[in-house]
Amino acid sequence: MNKAKLKKALGLVTLCLVLVGFIGFVEKQNQLKVYQGFEVDLKAVSGVYFVEEKEIEAIVMSAFPELKSGLPMGEVPLAAIEKRLSGHPFIKSVETSVGQKGILKMTIHQHEPIARIARPMAADGYITTEGLIIPTSPTYTSRVLILEGAFAEQLMDQGSVDSMPELMSLIRFVTEDEFWSAQVSELEINKKDDIRLHQQVGKQVIEFGDAHDIESKFRRIEVLYKEILPRKGWNAYERISVKFKNQIVCE
C-alpha cells in the first residue's frame, strides 16, 4: 500500500473513532440527565382540538406515576408513553423526545374527521381521513359531511370503512369540491348500492346508486342543475336518479 492510500485509510479510521467516541459521549450525557417534567405539543386539526392538553397530562401522570423530577432519563419509558397515548381514539400519532434540560416533549397529532355518522338511537361517530371510525368528542364538534342510513350505522360496529373502501372516494369528492360540499348536505347509505344525496337546495333526494362512476354521476347532476331544474323548477320532480349508467331519470 502506498503512502497516499495508507494516509487515507488512517484518516478514515480516525474519523470513525471520533464519531464512535462522540456518540458514546452523547449517550453518556443523556444517561446523566434527570427528568425535569414534560410539555405537550398538541397539533390542531383545522383549528380544533378534539383532545385537550390537560387530558394528555392527566393520562400520563396516572399511567406513569414514576415520572417525578430527578428520575434518570434512561428510566423514562418513552416507548410505553407513546403506546399508551396512541390508544386514545382521537390521537393519530405520538412522538417523544428529550430536550437538553431534561424536559420530555410529546408531539401529538390528532385524527382528522372527514364525515360524521349520525345515529338516531345511539352515539354518533366520525370517519377519519384514513377511513377509521372514532367516537365523537364531548368537547368539540367538527362541521363535516353527515352520513346516515342502515349501512352507515353498520360501519360504526366495524370500526372502519374497509368493507366499503369506495365510500372514501365519494366522501372526498364531495368534501373537496367547493360547490358540492355546499350543495350536498347528507349521504343516506341504506346499502352499498343504495346511496341517496340530500341537497341544501331542492326537496328531492337524488338516487345515486353505488359509490362507483362518481365523476360521471356528478356531471349528470350538474346538467340537472344547469339545464333542467332552472326551466322546470327546483321542486318539479318527485324522483331524480343518476344510478343508471349515462342516464338522468326525472319523474
* Comma-separated ranges of CATH 3.10.20.310 domains in the chain: 37-110
CA gap 40, 96 in Å, rounded: 10
113-250 in CATH: which number?
Answer: 3.40.50
Main-chain phi, psi angles of 11, to 5 degrees: -65, -40
Handedness of CA 142, 145, 146, 152 (dihedral sign): negative
pLDDT tens, residue by residue, 105-137: 999 998 889 999 999 888 899 999 999 999 888
The pTM score is 0.77
- C-alpha angle 232/237/243, rounded to 5°? 115
Outline where the chain has alpha helix (H).
3-32, 53-63, 78-86, 150-158, 166-176, 178-183, 214-223, 229-232
In whole angstroms, how far apart are CA 210 and each of 105, 146, 188, 243? Answer: 46, 17, 11, 7
Outline where 68-116 has alpha helix (H).
78-86
Q: What is the pLDDT of residue 37?
A: 87
Handedness of CA 149, 48, 78, 65 (dihedral sign): negative
- C-alpha angle 191/192/194, rounded to 5°? 55
Q: What is the pLDDT of residue 25?
A: 46
Helices 166-176 & 214-223 angle (0-180, nearest 10): 40
* Comma-separated ranges of CATH 3.40.50 domains in the chain: 113-250
Across the chain, which distance is largest between two alpha carbons, in Å? 94
DSSP string spanning 184-212?
A: EEEEEEEETTEEEEEESSSSPEEEEESSS
pLDDT tens, residue by residue, 35-58: 888 899 988 777 778 888 889 999
37-110 in CATH: which number?
Answer: 3.10.20.310
CA gap 197, 241 in Å, rounded: 10
Q: What is the pLDDT of residue 70?
A: 86
Inter-residue contact 145 to 181 (CB < 8 Å):
yes
Q: What is the pLDDT of residue 169?
A: 95
Handedness of CA 148, 149, 154, 155 (dihedral sign): negative
